[in-house]
Structure 1
């Protein structure tokens, strides 16, 4: 029994840093399987181990106190990681329209909560979504199709209108036009100049 107890202590020493690392990085993509129930299990297991160590008097020695402190870290680190995530989320949702239009189209995300991803789409903060097993779990194909169609509608509504510009001759009257019209006018001018050069060359 004493031998088994020592093996158990060695395993606790080895597992503590790993659990603390997972808790501190719980929002990283490679730890997605631990989200939800997995995170809760880590916290419960850490607290249970701390209680067992205290009841067995391990805290009376320096090494025992260090081991107890190590197993107290996972819940604290997980709380800090969650707070950091919420602060980043607040910063993203508070992004200006200019930042959203510049950066949003470059991001594609998976989702498990339709209201949360719909909010990102409405603000133009993402360019699209991808479907994973987390999307499909508990949903019918028709429900998923309806959600994606709704997100596409929101994305189209979130796109900013064409930037306004002005065109006209120097010193003359100017009129406001869309970027597309301005580009079209510039293209027509280039074509006219090209025809003039060809005509001059033939002459």
Structure 2
């Protein structure tokens, strides 16, 4: 009996610890699926825990257990209040500084009407279209939705929104079946054809995809994947990245050839592509959707191998570059590429001379979010990144934008530099 009571007591304390942890991480992106009822469920669980602790707990420990419950309750309500306040503050903001900051954010959405006021006031610079936005809808529905947002921008005298999606072909084809699901770019290598014919086919692939995207109002496609294949099976905890299934080739020259022709095909239809995911996900085993990742390959090898497709294609096209949440310790041991000033400002902008669009991978992915969304936001802006993607858990835009506004008020951000970034976002295709 004593052992049973001890076990039940231990489970009770573990439950209290879990509830406090949940309260601390209220509205975490991983819990987005339960966002609508997360707070009521947590409050209910805390009430049950409080009642159980009072009735079943040892008299001497009742104050402690109730204290833990009360602390978790205050934490949850505090997080909820902060979220509500951030949303209200951002929604009420206006003016040049708010627009300068807002232009750097690309957001996902469930209902486009929720973006109307943000678009009209210039508090966002782009929108991301994914599978949840096309499910059960027609191409005409989506085009009308995008046109409505762009009309609001024109009426307000603001630049058009950048409208992005993830249409790589193959497994990552977010807009299919609204547009034809093409096989992955790597399948172009299955046929043993001369180099010129391979280039022609890749260009035709990109042009076909570009025309379909342009018809919907898409202006930026997060493709091609120029991470290099490794021949290694996905890691045990690689649930979503699975780069070898999406990459073009293990050969940097061949990858660059296909990617450049594809990009030029996209551009012929008026759509810009995006080279991803710098500094390369082929050399990491962690899934950055959930876990921190480190690329330990020597920089000298990366520069002559993994980074060649990024450099070769960007020099000969108008492609953007997506920054992954990967740490390159030889360059910056503290921060991932997506918000590392050493990598963005010194390497990509400085040594490479790249003056095109830089966009982060989704900042609500674990490898970035777990380092602190506010920290990631401010550092990415300070590094010179043009677009901060907040797509999966788009509610986090309000927290990120609030952080950016607070940083601007404190004089932490270089506003003239951020304004110059606007010229890159408005760059026409070559």
TM score, norm. by length of structure 1: 0.63
Deviations 1:136-188 (A, max 9, x none): 6xx63135554333223223333448xxxxxxxxxxxxxxxxxxxxxxxxxxx
Partner of 1:88: 86
- For 2:132 and 2:3, the matched residues in 1 are separated by 44
- For 1:2 and 1:144, the matched residues in 2 are separated by 64
- For 2:16 and 2:131, the matched residues in 1 are separated by 31
How many residues of Structure 1 are paired with residues of Structure 2 in the alignment?
157
| Mapping for residues 92-111 of structure 1, pairs under 5 Å | 92-111=90-109
- For 2:130 and 2:19, the matched residues in 1 are separated by 27
Partner of 1:201: none
- 2:59 equivalent to 1:60: yes
Partner of 1:153: 151
Which blocks of at least 5 consecutive residues in structure 2 are unaligned? 160-430
| Mapping for residues 117-132 of structure 1, pairs under 5 Å | 117-132=115-130
- For 1:49 and 1:134, the matched residues in 2 are separated by 36
| Mapping for residues 12-31 of structure 1, pairs under 5 Å | 12-31=12-31
Deviations 1:87-143 (A, max 9, x none): 22222123232023211121012223444322211211111222356546xx63135
- For 2:132 and 2:72, the matched residues in 1 are separated by 26
Q: Say whether the 8 Å CA contact 1:118–1:154 is kept in structure 2.
A: yes
Closer/same/farther in 2, CA of residues 102 and 60 from structure 1, 3 Å limit? same
**Pairwise CA RMSD:** 2.7
The structure richer in helix per residue is 1
Structure number with larger C-alpha Rg: 1
- For 1:39 and 1:145, the matched residues in 2 are separated by 35
Q: Say whether the 8 Å CA contact 2:108–2:128 is kept in structure 1.
A: yes
The CA deviation at 1:81 is 1.0
Dislocated runs of 4+, deviation >6 Å = none
Closer/same/farther in 2, CA of residues 60 and 49 from structure 1, 3 Å limit? same
- For 1:127 and 1:22, the matched residues in 2 are separated by 33
Which blocks of at least 5 consecutive residues in structure 1 are unaligned? 162-203
Q: Say whether the 8 Å CA contact 2:120–2:153 is kept in structure 1.
A: yes
Q: Say whether the 8 Å CA contact 2:99–2:124 is kept in structure 1.
A: no
TM score, norm. by length of structure 2: 0.33
- For 1:35 and 1:99, the matched residues in 2 are separated by 31
Closer/same/farther in 2, CA of residues 133 and 54 from structure 1, 3 Å limit? farther
